[in-house]
Structure 1
């Protein structure tokens, strides 16, 4: 294989890889009602949503952004293996989870949390990245 063909093959493989970085943190569960929200007031944005902590919310800059969230493990001994067989979900940021009440990085709707983990866990270890 020529050097040019190798170079082209390398570029093709690299274009298929995701270069997005992910962060780790805590995902908590938030039950309905989800309105009003800090980002959209009384406009319904569905149920695959999340509230962001102060660092992620950035004064509202996170509103409408989508995050891919993956359950990576439990946070307590009561539910040692909370992740489901579908441990990844995509959520849209629709709200702010203010301190001191916010106990995680992303406060996931009940529907999005239960897709990736047992709701009885209440909180989970997550990895997440903006899409």
Structure 2
């Protein structure tokens, strides 16, 4: 019985690591306040604004997402750094938002060359 439980736990762990949504990321620049979620509270710089795709009628506020660049969307060759970043949703990127998630400039720079402006991503909560 203990072995069966351990196998299930390991299988669930691998499944959660392997699952990710796909989309695009852009970035915005300071000042980062006020924000839709927290008003004038300073939330640091590892933050993001959610597009309608993940905004969920404000329920996205406070959620964290791990974001990783998977490739470019334009002429900048090899924009990805190979790293991922964890960001907290603190703002809303309104209709017409160019990306699924709009990262702070600092968070975007962790995963991609800012000169790219927009990149393809994988992300999971």
TM-score (norm 2): 0.90
- Do residues 10 (structure 1) and 23 (structure 2) align? no
Structure 2: tracts of 5 or more residues without a match:
none
Deviates more, 1:32-41 or 1:16-25: 16-25
State the 1:18 CA deviation: 4.0
State the 1:16 CA deviation: 3.9
| Structure 1 segments of 4+ aligned residues over 3 angstroms from their partners | 4-9
Which entry has the higher C-alpha Rg, 1 or 2? 1
RMSD of aligned residue pairs (Cα, Å): 1.8
**C-alpha distance 56-10 of structure 1, shift in aligned 2 (>3 A):** same
In the alignment, which residue of structure 1 is the partner of 2:109? 114
In the alignment, which residue of structure 1 is the partner of 2:93? 97
Structure 1: tracts of 5 or more residues without a match:
none
Instruction: Summarize the alignment of residues 42-61 of structure 1 with structure 2, pairs less than 5 Å apart.
Output: 42-61=40-59
Is the Cα–Cα contact under 8 Å of residues 69 and 82 in structure 2 kept in the other structure? Answer: no
**C-alpha distance 12-96 of structure 1, shift in aligned 2 (>3 A):** closer
CA–CA distance in 1 between the matches of 2:57 and 2:10? 38
1:68-97 per-position Cα deviation (integer Å, ceiling 9, x unaligned): 0010000002x12100142x0000000000
TM-score (norm 1): 0.86
